[in-house]
């Protein structure tokens, strides 16, 4: 059986090794701004956005990588993973971590806890 390594694995990075840092934002569509840390590199500016449509996981969320606007107000990605399968793995891990960070944020914000009185 021939198993190919992903681009990340070739340089010694595994999706499970990625560290995510979230700034939970309480705006209309924007839900969080995310930084991804892998070893000595950090990529800032990923966004978790609310969507009118469900993603493959059935959530109404979508991820956008860091981007910049051109003169005609079109946005172009700064960070891009051409391997769709690898992007789906990173996106899935990011959404898993977002759910944890969001839950923690709102539990603190509204002083929710599991203590029974």
| DSSP string of 93-115, one letter each residue | HHHHHHHHHHHHHHHHHTT----
**62 neighbors 49 (Cβ within 8 angstroms):** yes
Domain harbouring 81, CATH code:
3.30.1120.40
Domain membership of residue 116 (yes or no) is: no
Encode pLDDT of 8-21 as tens digits: 665 567 888 999 99
Encode pLDDT of 60-81 as tens digits: 999 999 999 999 989 999 998 8
Domain membership of residue 56 (yes or no) is: yes
Report the chain's terminal Cα–Cα distance, integer Å. 57
> What pLDDT sits at residue 39?
82
Residue 48 has pLDDT above 90, yes or no: yes
Domain membership of residue 79 (yes or no) is: yes
> What pLDDT sits at residue 109?
82
Domain membership of residue 7 (yes or no) is: no
Question: Residue 33 and residue 22: Cα distance in Å, rounded?
Answer: 6
**Domain around 52:** 12-109
Domain membership of residue 86 (yes or no) is: yes
**105 neighbors 25 (Cβ within 8 angstroms):** no
Domains held by the chain: number? 1
């Amino acid at each position: 059986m021939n198993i190919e390594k992903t681009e990340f694995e070739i340089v010694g990075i595994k999706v499970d090794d990625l560290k995510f840092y979230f700034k939970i934002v309480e705006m209309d569509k924007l839900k969080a701004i995310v930084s991804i840390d892998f070893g000595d590199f950090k990529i800032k500016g990923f966004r978790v956005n609310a969507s009118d449509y469900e993603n493959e996981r059935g959530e109404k969320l979508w991820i956008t990588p860091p981007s910049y606007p051109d003169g005609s107000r079109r946005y172009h990605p700064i960070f891009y993973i051409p391997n769709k399968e690898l992007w789906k793995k990173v996106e899935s891990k990011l959404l898993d971590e977002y759910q944890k960070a969001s839950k923690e944020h709102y539990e603190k914000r509204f002083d929710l806890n599991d203590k029974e009185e």
